[in-house]
Amino acid sequence: MRPMAWGKNARALVCAAFALCAAGCAQPPSQVFDLAGASVPTHRSVRADGALSIREPMAVSPTSSNRIVLRDADGSVFVLPDVGWSAPLPRLLRERLIESLQKADVGAARIGGSGRALATDIRRFEIDVARNVAVVEIYVRILDENTGAARAAQNISAETFAPAHTGAAAALALTDAAAQALARIAAWARSRL
């Protein structure tokens, strides 16, 4: 009977250790950043004929998370420990995109009724460590919501200097690159409506 009790205790101890380890991995980042300021200058009015439904951007892991991504010279991808965005990047980028479009006189909302949607795929949103640059690359499509057909499509990218690859410096460089990319997306979308 005694060995059986030790087996149960050992299993319980292993399970508890595993749970603690998993909980440690799931801890939120200690430094949290937003894409504040990632928008274009304000124009006077929003064009009613330019209303777009803005879909949440598509992204693959780890870009789809709230972590700040780095790419090494050998192409390997990793995330900054204890540093992250205030929300998962696709959700955060969608909000900033809506703001940027509205400031560029393009009516934009999460749900629209115009029959047109703006769909985006985040292809890169990372610090390129080898080149010391923040890279934002987003594939953008204006879709007919009734047929799903693309009315227009464009790959838009922006890069900014990223001298440091940690915490606030990495977040600031990515925010600057995002601001450039969002300004280009807003101008492109406005010219297509």
Averaged pLDDT score across all residues of the chain? 83
Domains and CATH numbers, the chain: 2-192 (3.40.50.10610)
pLDDT in tens, 39-89: 444 444 444 444 799 999 999 999 999 999 999 999 999 999 989 999 999
More confident residue, 155 or 52: 155
- Residue 21 pLDDT more than 70? no
Which pLDDT score, from 0 to 100, does residue 88 have?
97
pTM of the entire predicted model: 0.80
SS3 string, the chain, reads CHHHHHHHHHHHHHHHHHHHHHHHHCCCCCEEECCCCCCCCCCCCCEEEEEEEECCCECCCCCCCCEEEEECCCCCEEEEEEEEECCCHHHHHHHHHHHHHHHCCEEEECCCCCCEEEEEEEEEEEEECCCCEEEEEEEEEEEECCCCCEEEEEEEEEEEECCCCCHHHHHHHHHHHHHHHHHHHHHHHHHHC
| pLDDT of the residue at 4 | 44
Greater pLDDT, 67 or 112: 67
Name the residue with higher pLDDT: 8 or 34: 34
